[in-house]
Structure 1
Amino acid sequence: MTILHIVSWKLAATDPAEKAAHAAEIAARLGALVGVIDDIQTLRVGPDVVGGANWDIALVAEYEDEAALSRYQVHPAHVEAAGYVKSVVAERMAVDLVV
């Protein structure tokens, strides 16, 4: 069983340049977890490129199973990255699918 973990965020900033900077920093911090947290099978993260009513940035990652996802979520490197994310977002949406 593979777990597909999908998260998207709406950023708190309203200035387009500040939003872009925050999205880039989120992508850099979360992307840097690949190779650090062994439980990550795949991870893609980046800003929305269409705009409008879409969310500002999203992450799509795969884990072997729920236990691997749980280990990822409490890993110190993820907790540190998540601290930054929480400091710049207004809303968060997540869903985990079996694929």
Structure 2
Amino acid sequence: MIRHIVSWQLAPADPVQKAAAAAGIAVRLEGLVGVVDEIRSLQVGFDVAGGSNWDVVLIADFDDLDAVNRYQVHPAHQAAGTFIRSVVSSRMAVDVAV
């Protein structure tokens, strides 16, 4: 099993715009469940502490790295990524065996 973890810092500084961007990310990523067969589990969370923390996190589980790679190129994931890239300033990702 591979756990795919991605964190983003959002570009908007305004709290209302930041919240809208975070919600837009969550809706798009959560909408991939049932569309992208490779996803075994997926959750999106928002930072509650503030400060220099990252704003949004994705934690998703896949059977193996091949499944992660198929997820990455799936058209529905690509569409979600287009929106995400439009509202973030930084991205961090790690794939770990669990």
TM-score by length of 1: 0.97
Distance in 1 between residues matched to 2:28 and 2:85, nearest whole Å:
12
Shift of 1:50: 1.7
The equivalent residue for 1:97 is 96
Q: Which moved more, 1:56-65 or 1:42-51?
A: 42-51
Query: Which amino acid in structure 2 is aligned with residue 28 of structure 1?
Result: V
Aligned residues: 98
**Could you say what secondary structure the match of 1:46 adopts?**
strand
Partner residue of 1:87?
86
Distance in 1 between the 2:45 and 2:22 partners?
A: 7
2:60 and 2:50 mapped to 1: Cα distance? 22
Question: Identity, % of aligned pairs?
Answer: 58
In 2, Cα distance between equivalents of 1:49 and 1:31 = 20
AA partner of residue 78 (structure 1) = H
User: Unaligned regions of 5+ residues in structure 2, if any?
Assistant: none
RMSD between aligned alpha carbons?
Answer: 0.6
> Is 1:18 matched up with 2:17?
yes
**CA offsets 1:30-80 (integer angstroms, 9 cap, x no match):** 000000001000000122122111101000000000000000000000000
TM-score (norm 2): 0.98
Structure 1: unaligned runs, 5 residues or longer: none
